[in-house]
Amino acid sequence: MRGIIMDALFAAMKADERVFFLTADMGINLVERFAESYPSRFLNVGIAEQNLIGISAGLCNLGYRPFAYTISNFLVHRPYEQIRNDVALHGYPVTLLGTSGGFDNAPLGPTHHVVDELGALGALAGIDLYCPSSTNCARELVGRLIERERPAYVRMPKDNFDHPALEGETAYLPGSGRQTLIIGYGATAPACIAVQETNPAVSVLICQRLRPLDEEVVAGALARHDQAIVVEDHLAASGVYGALCRLAMEYQIRCRVRSLAPDNYSLQVGASPRFYQARYRLDKGGIEEMICQP
């Protein structure tokens, strides 16, 4: 997904002279073409994430549309005050491009596991949250962000995933039954869809815009099912599970909303994201187990 979004951003810089790309000492063999082709609209601030956000906000005052890129844990937590004061309070159209969300940086341990950034940014008013789950969405996302001109954060999964039914920012894949709806996004989307391929009675909802949710589509999907299982590589209460519980209450939907997500910061070392997906049962087998539990 990261490469697809970077390709779209590179094309946008050619088409729109307002687009400005910044990075915090990240992206070897990925960002060099930006520096070479658009040196006046590219800046590597170094390992200085607070400056990354402050400069991005300042560029908005000059009419630019900044895209700021680095690893999500450094992009969100280290400059949190600057995101709040310099971007959110003013509604500046800065797009935060975060890589290595969830357990993508598995062997680097909990300091580099990003399972709480959606909650951190969700606590700030006015920042839209995205997590592309398909190559189609990733290709179109940069253009939408430029058009909307709002503060935004994009959680970019490292792996590519393509599925013809994942169109738009919220994709509902109805099954033949009404008992179970599986809801996922980003890295969990492939496992959710794999469950439906084995069990066609199960419905799947893939959210690629996490805030604001498409309430009409999401509420409609919840209302059609007895239970919904939210599968996410993020702490549940501050993730999509918490948002869906609130939505179900507001719409008075009689659907049991359940969570399948990490519940702590793991100090166990795993060599790949699959280690943590299995540990927290975010894989196909874990989802199937959850469906059968009372």
Structure letter (DSSP) for residue 188:
G
Based on the number of CB atoms within 10 Å of its own CB, is 294 exposed (0-12), middle (13-18) or buried (19 or more)?
A: exposed
CA 168: distance to chain centroid? 15
170-292, CATH topology level: Rossmann fold (3.40.50)
Rounded to the nearest 10 degrees, the angle between the axes of helix 135-148 and helix 2-15 is 40
Tokens read off for 169: 């920012």
Q: What is the pLDDT along the chain (294 residues), one digit of tens a residue?
A: 899 999 999 999 999 999 999 999 887 778 899 999 999 999 999 999 999 999 999 999 999 999 999 999 999 999 999 999 999 999 999 999 999 999 999 999 999 999 999 999 999 999 999 999 988 899 999 999 999 999 999 999 988 788 777 888 999 999 999 999 999 999 999 999 999 999 999 999 999 999 999 999 999 999 999 999 999 999 999 999 999 999 999 999 999 999 999 999 999 889 999 999 999 999 999 999 999 998
Q: Is the pTM of this model over 0.75?
A: yes
Same fold for the domain at 2-156 and the one at 170-292?
yes
The CATH H-level (homologous superfamily) assignment of domain 2-156 is Thiamin diphosphate (ThDP)-binding fold, Pyr/PP domains (3.40.50.970)
Instruction: Select from 128, 126, 27, 16 the least CA-distant residue to 71.
Output: 27
Tokens 């900044």 belong to residue: 66
Any idea where the domains of the chain sit in the sequence?
2-156, 170-292
The secondary element (H helix, E strand) that includes residue 228 is strand 227-231
Judge contact between 243 and 212, C-beta under 8 A.
no
What are the phi and psi torsion angles at 172 (to 5°)?
A: -105, 120
How far apart, in whole angstroms, are the C-alpha atoms of residue 250 and residue 56?
A: 36
